[in-house]
Structure formats: structure tokens, C-alpha cells
């Protein structure tokens, strides 16, 4: 309850929404990169499209659509790769910027200005490697024998935990040591694994249901709603770290400046900086 109250006090909902929206925008250049990769792969293999359709088990109109898409990808692979990688870099920086704002708001510290851009680039490089390693565990899990599968799940939890320890420690402008960020990172890692398992069942159904009701726009609603869960989980993780840290290190009280409104005197403020109570100045 304490974590949830603090989450609301710092505006955790809007901060999580900004993370989700930035992640959603980054999906479009990511799709361009995927199209470019498919285009380069199929251009050197005449049987690529046929093999892909067969592996996916597609027939009829769906088979024709995929083959047409691959043909288009071959023609536009160079342009898609350039535009896609540039767009992915810019949108990735937008995602990192939203993460930095959220983490700094939870710790109630200010950003580092232009240095945050350099930190964001460093984080993107490292996170890209960890994401690739985590993604590689999916195919490994499908091919691994039964006794080994729990080890691949534990490896995924470990990689995700490392990713978010590094995320919380490097992106936020709080200097408290990496161990402080461990509880929240573990929470996010477990939550991500649960969401991935549930998402493999729920998301396709949500997309299909939303598409039936709202057409293509329904897919946007379904994906945004799912990304919002990830955004809220990330924010809850960092708030948990802050609460636990305050329990041991304590807090300090600082003064803040607020706009002077005629006839009102601010009495107290909350952690979001908003005035909680006012009094009529004429009563003094």
C-alpha cells in the first residue's frame, strides 16, 4: 500500500503512460528494420519466401499476402534499413528519455541535461546486447529438453534482473549504489516473465477482438494497453527501491517555491509538488 500511495503521489500513472507511448512509437522503425532484414535475407535465397510460408503453415490469401510483402521488402530493403535504423535510434532515445524522467521523478531528483543523452546512448548499446541474449532464450527454450527448460527460464530472469539493475542505476540521477536497485529489478524481472507467458495467450486474443470491433485501430488499442502494463511495472519497481531505501536512510524536508495566488496561502505540499491545502490570506 505504501508503494502504491507513493506511485500515485509522484504521478506514476502518467509517467508509465509516457514510457508506453514512447515504446509504441519505437515499434514502427523497428518494423522497418525487420522488413530490411527480411529483404536482405530473401534477396540471396530464391526459396526463402516459399520456405517461410511453409514453416508458418499459411495457405490461400494469407500465403499470397506474405509472399507479396517479402517481394516488397526485397525492393525497399536499402531504404528501409537506413530509415529504420535512424528512426530506431531516435525513437530509442525517446524511450530512454521517458525512462529517465520516470526514474528521476521517483527519486525526486533533476536530470543531468545533455549528459543524459550520452548516458542514453550507452544504455541503448548495452541494453541491445541484453535484449538479444534474452530473445535468444525463446528458441532455446523450445528446443531444450525438459530437464533443461527451467534453467533457461532462470537465465531469462537473471538477464532481465541485470538489465534493470543497470537501468535503474545508470539512467536515474540517484547515487545510491546498485544494490539498492536489486529488489525492484527482481520484481520487474518476475513481472516481465509472467507478462510474457500471459501475453502469448492474451495479446493475440485482445488484438483479434479489438480488430473485430474497431478494425486496424483496435490493434493500436490492444498493443498500447499491454505496453502500459510494462510501463507501470517499471515504475512500481523503482518506487519499491525508493521506499526501501528511505526506510533505512531516512528522508529530509526541503522548501519549494510555488506560484503566488492572490487570497491563498499554501500550507503543505505533496511529493508531486502540488499544494494540498490552502487558507484564505485575509484570515491572517
- Listed by start position, the domains of the chain span 2-249
pLDDT at 89: 82
pLDDT at 55: 66
Spatial CA neighbour of 154 closest among 122, 108, 186: 186
Residue 114 has φ and ψ, to the nearest 5°, of -65, -25
Tens of pLDDT along the chain (284 residues)? 999 999 998 999 999 999 999 999 888 887 777 777 777 777 766 677 777 667 666 566 656 776 777 777 777 777 667 777 788 788 888 889 999 999 999 998 888 888 888 898 888 888 878 777 776 666 666 666 667 667 777 877 888 899 899 999 989 888 888 899 999 999 999 998 888 878 777 766 666 665 555 656 666 777 888 899 999 999 999 999 999 999 999 888 887 777 777 777 776 776 765 555 555 544 44
End-to-end CA distance of the chain: 37
Q: How far is residue 70's CA from residue 40's CA, in Å, rounded to a whole number?
A: 10
pLDDT at 60: 66
pLDDT at 80: 67
pTM to 2 decimal places: 0.76
pLDDT at 130: 78
Q: Which three cell numbers stand for residue 171?
A: 539512467
Could you identify the residue written with the cell 487570497?
263
Amino acid at each position: 500500500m505504501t508503494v502504491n500511495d507513493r506511485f500515485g503521489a509522484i504521478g506514476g500513472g502518467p509517467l508509465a503512460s509516457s514510457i508506453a507511448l514512447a515504446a509504441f512509437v519505437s515499434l514502427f522503425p523497428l518494423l522497418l528494420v525487420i522488413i530490411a532484414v527480411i529483404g536482405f535475407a530473401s534477396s540471396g535465397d530464391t526459396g526463402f519466401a516459399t520456405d517461410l510460408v511453409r514453416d508458418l503453415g499459411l495457405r490461400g490469401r494469407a500465403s499470397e499476402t506474405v509472399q507479396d510483402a517479402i517481394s516488397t521488402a526485397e525492393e525497399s530493403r536499402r531504404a528501409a534499413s537506413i530509415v529504420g535504423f535512424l528512426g530506431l535510434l531516435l525513437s530509442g532515445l525517446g524511450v530512454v528519455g521517458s525512462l529517465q524522467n520516470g526514474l528521476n521523478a521517483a527519486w525526486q531528483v533533476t536530470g543531468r541535461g545533455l549528459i543524459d543523452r550520452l548516458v542514453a546512448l550507452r544504455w541503448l548499446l548495452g541494453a541491445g546486447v541484453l535484449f538479444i541474449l534474452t530473445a535468444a532464450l525463446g528458441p532455446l527454450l523450445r528446443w531444450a529438453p525438459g530437464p533443461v527448460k527451467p534453467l533457461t527460464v532462470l537465465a531469462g530472469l537473471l538477464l532481465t534482473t541485470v538489465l534493470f539493475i543497470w537501468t535503474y542505476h545508470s539512467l536515474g540521477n540517484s547515487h545510491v549504489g546498485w544494490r539498492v536497485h536489486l529488489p525492484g529489478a527482481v520484481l520487474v524481472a518476475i513481472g516481465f516473465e509472467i507478462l510474457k507467458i500471459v501475453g502469448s495467450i492474451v495479446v493475440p486474443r485482445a488484438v483479434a477482438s479489438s480488430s473485430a470491433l474497431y478494425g486496424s485501430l483496435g490493434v493500436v488499442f490492444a498493443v498500447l494497453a499491454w505496453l502500459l502494463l510494462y510501463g507501470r511495472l517499471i515504475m512500481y519497481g523503482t518506487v519499491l527501491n525508493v521506499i526501501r531505501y528511505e526506510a533505512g536512510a531516512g528522508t529530509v524536508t526541503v522548501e519549494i517555491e510555488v506560484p503566488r495566488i492572490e487570497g491563498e496561502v499554501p500550507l503543505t505540499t505533496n511529493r508531486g509538488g502540488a499544494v494540498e491545502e490552502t487558507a484564505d490570506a485575509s484570515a491572517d
